Structure 1
Amino acid sequence: MENKLESKVNDKLQNMDSEKKEEILSSFDGFKQYLADKVEKADKLGLDQEQIAKAAQKVGDFLAAKEEPRNREEKLLQELWKAGNEEEQHKLAHMLVKLVS
């Protein structure tokens, strides 16, 4: 299940058009709302917190590697993400999920 979930998240990120990405990332509130919506959908699908955090971690990896921060909050998250090891990034993903839940 986890590999399928990670693959689905990766496909979604790779295929998102730039206009939609800009809409999500233009403000931190927009990013949190997008994440909250995805967490709610994952809950409804019956995914547990660990699975949701792994998906959030995949999103964090993608954003840190391929997107420039659009605001101070995203810049801080990117810096924390890059400074952390995989375990710390996973904990930060859990915290982000908790923040928007």
Structure 2
Amino acid sequence: MSVLDNFESWKDFLGNRLQQAEENGMNEGVMSTVAAEIGDYLAANVEPKNGEQRLLADLWHSADENEKQVLANTMINLVKNRKAH
């Protein structure tokens, strides 16, 4: 089973990678840039496997570059806030 098969697994995976990046001293600006690059890659190369991913893909494809950065930052906040609850 891939982490992409289930949205909860995907958020867990992202949260773990985010924590590792923070522990290794990566600043928020770099994390934000990397998140947008991952979004570009996923939108171009990975077929959504569930409704949440389909929504994110549709939003990504309709967004301009600034909006994509906001979406990437929102995903970072989503997994950060998830760890806090």
Match of 1:51 among 20, 30, 34: 30
1:48 Cα offset (Å): 1.4
The answer for unaligned runs of 5 or more in structure 2 is 81-85
1:23 Cα offset (Å): 1.1
1:90 Cα offset (Å): 0.5
The answer for unaligned runs of 5 or more in structure 1 is 1-21
1:66 Cα offset (Å): 0.4
What SS does the aligned partner of 2:3 have?
A: helix
Superposed CA deviations along residues 38-61 of structure 1, whole A, max 9, x for unmatched, are: 100110111111111111111100
Paired residue total = 80
* TM alignment of 1:67-78, pairs within 5 A: 67-78=46-57
Query: Structure 1: which 4+ aligned runs deviate by more than 4 Å?
Result: none
Q: Specify the alignment match of 2:83 in structure 1.
A: none
Match of 1:64 among 31, 40, 43: 43
1:30 Cα offset (Å): 0.9
1:100 Cα offset (Å): 0.2
Name the CA distance, whole Å, in 2 between partners of 1:88 and 1:73.
Answer: 18
Name the CA distance, whole Å, in 1 between partners of 2:32 and 2:21.
Answer: 10
Name the CA distance, whole Å, in 2 between partners of 1:85 and 1:46.
Answer: 29
Name the CA distance, whole Å, in 2 between partners of 1:33 and 1:44.
Answer: 16
TM-score after normalising by structure 2: 0.90
Q: Identity of counterpart residues, as a percentage?
A: 32
* TM alignment of 1:80-99, pairs within 5 A: 80-99=59-78
